[in-house]
Structure formats: structure tokens, C-alpha cells
Amino acid sequence: MIILIGSQKGGCGKSTVAVNICAALAKTGRDVVLVDADRQCTSTNWTMDRAVKPNLNTVHSVQKYENIRETLLDLSQRYEFVIVDAAGRDSRELRTGMIAADILLVPFRPSQPDLDTLQNLQQIIIQAKDLNPKLIVYGVLTMAPTNPSIHESDEARDYLLDYPEIMLLKTTIRDRKIYRDAMSEGLGVVEMDNKKATDEITSLMQEIISW
Amino acid sequence: MVKRREPKPASSSQPTQSQIEAFASEADGGAKIKKELDPHAKHDFKGIRVPFNEYEYSKLVELSAKTGRTKLNVIRWAILKLAEDER
């Protein structure tokens, strides 16, 4: 199964979501490869930090740019899960990834600049589905305020109703320091001692794959 | 009794390399690739009605008889010849 994490907006937590999905899959013994298609190499740095910790389950890693379709299809023959971290813009990697993927997961923050990109992204999704009819598209709210009195997330959920091509998941990833700490250690939050963040990633996994 | 119909996917075939490249090249506002047209495709794209004066029509009949082409073929050939000369 190929899961592409992509959006047109940078800084919405794509790499964080990608590596945490990988860590969650690896922790349960799944055969997973992480494809870093973003030249910022955030995911690759995470796998390098992870590689020096021999007690952790392996997450294989590949860097691939430009047309990534053939690579993804090839990897999907050899790995149970192919997780792709694409750059935060309308890139060749994002488009060619969409033609190969089973699932496109679009992380977005509950902020106006993030929401403003969805209209164009929906147009790209419609075009991609002409070439890849099996593509399923999910949206997930990320970096949402932990303060329950702030209603930005609810407003963003309402906003997404205008974009039927993107199925919004019930899971919300909140802005927690543990995600940043895990990132710098080559870990996923499921491998650290934080129940709230672990529950968020577990809930995300349950929604997108048979978990 | 009515039966539920599952929606069929738009296409089950794999996209061609040119379709992939055309889609990917639009990234970051890139230019759309101009579709390559087949000069030998069927003549079913567009039909136009062409009024002639008597002189033009007599020339068309004359050329048709001289070259062994149908009248329509003479017109098509003349268009392509002019396009080639103008390149």
C-alpha cells in the first residue's frame, strides 16, 4: 500500500505525520519504507537519527525526486507499506506520487493560509483521479491548539465541507512538544511515553488502514 | 426489484507516459504540454460548410479530375500544403 503525505502548503506537519506513521507501522512489525521526496530531507534526517538506535524496529528509507511514480510502484511490490513524504508545494513529486498512491493524506493546520490552498489542491486531485481512479484522499487537521476553548479546529472542519474530494478524518493531531522531541530523536511518539500523542497516531492509523 | 449498482471507475488502464508527463509538468504553475495531433486521424473532429463562387467551384472540379482526388480531398490537401509552405 502506498500512502502519500502531501499538500501544497509547507509547515503543516507532513514530515511529522509521515515519520510517525512509519514508526507506528514498524512498531507492530510491518515492513515499511519511507520515501523522502522533499529536498529539505527532513524525513531522511529522522531515519539517520533512528539508524543509530539498534533496538528500534527498522524503517527503510529512500530518497527520490522528480517523477517518483515508477519507484513507488516498484517499492510497493517489495514492501507492505510505502510511506511518501512530498514537498509542501505543487511539485512533480506530489503529482507523480498521486498517480501511483493508494491513499493521499493531506495534513493541514486550522489556519487561513493552509485552508486557502485547498481549492487548488482539490483541482489537482480531480485531475489525478482521472489517471489514478483508485486514489483515496483524506484530510487530517494538524498542529491544532491543545486549548479546548479555541475553536479554530471546528471552524476548519466546517470549511472543509466545501471540498468533497477530501474526506476529513475524525482524528486531530494537536500541537504537542512531544512530536518535536520525537522528531529529533529518530522516534515516533508511539515509541515514547505520551498517551495523548500515541492515541492521536493510533486513531489516525485506525482511520486510514486496517489496524 | 431494483438492484444497487456500484459506480464503475472512470478507467482501469494504466496512464501512459505522456499523460503522466502532461499532468506532472503543470506542477508549480508550469506550462501545459501542447497535445500532439495526429495528421492521419479520422476526419470526425469538425465539419464546416464552405460556400464557393462559380469560378472557385470550377477550379475545384478541374483539380479533382486532373489529380484523381475527391473534391474534399483536394481541399484538405490544399490546406496541408499551405500549412507546410507557411512553416
pLDDT at B6 > cutoff 80: no
How high is the pLDDT of residue B7? 59
Percent of chain A with pLDDT over 70: 100
Confidence bin at A157 (pLDDT 50/70/90): confident
- The answer for B 52-71 residues in CB contact with A (under 8 A) is none
pLDDT at A161 > cutoff 90: no
d(CA A119, CA B9) in angstroms, rounded, equals 23
CB atoms within 10 A of CB A56: 17
> With an 8 Å Cβ cutoff, are B24 and A96 in contact?
yes
Interface probe with B: pick from A69, A98, A99, A131, most Cβ of B within 10 Å: A131
> With an 8 Å Cβ cutoff, are B28 and A90 in contact?
yes
- Give the three-class secondary structure for A103: strand
How high is the pLDDT of residue A105? 97
* Range A96-121 average pLDDT: 93
pLDDT at A148 > cutoff 80: no
* Neighboring chain B residues of A91 at a CB cutoff of 8 Å: 27-28
Mean pLDDT of chain A: 93
* Range A157-180 average pLDDT: 92
> With an 8 Å Cβ cutoff, are A131 and B26 in contact?
no
Contact A12, A118 (CB under 8 A): no
pLDDT at B9 > cutoff 60: no
How high is the pLDDT of residue A174? 94
Contact A59, A27 (CB under 8 A): no
> With an 8 Å Cβ cutoff, are B23 and A94 in contact?
no
The residues near B78 (Cβ < 8 Å, ≥ 6 apart) are none
Q: What is the pLDDT of residues A39-55, one digit of tens each?
A: 999 999 999 999 999 89
Contact A135, A119 (CB under 8 A): no
What's B34's DSSP letter?
P
A50 Cβ under 8 Å from any chain B Cβ: no
pLDDT at A206 > cutoff 80: yes
Least confident of A6-15, A152-161, A185-194, B6-15: B6-15
Size of interface A-B (CB pairs under 8 A): 40
> With an 8 Å Cβ cutoff, are A99 and B15 in contact?
yes
* Neighboring chain A residues of B29 at a CB cutoff of 8 Å: 90
Confidence bin at B1 (pLDDT 50/70/90): low
* Range A17-27 average pLDDT: 97
How high is the pLDDT of residue A64? 94
Percent of chain B with pLDDT over 90: 40
* Neighboring chain A residues of B18 at a CB cutoff of 8 Å: none
Nine-digit cell string for B27: 506542477
Mean pLDDT of chain B: 84
d(CA A20, CA A14) in angstroms, rounded, equals 10
Q: Which residue has the cell 534526517?
A: A45
* Range B38-66 average pLDDT: 91
A10 Cβ under 8 Å from any chain B Cβ: no
CA distance A142 to chain B (A): 24
d(CA A195, CA A172) in angstroms, rounded, equals 14
d(CA A38, CA A177) in angstroms, rounded, equals 23
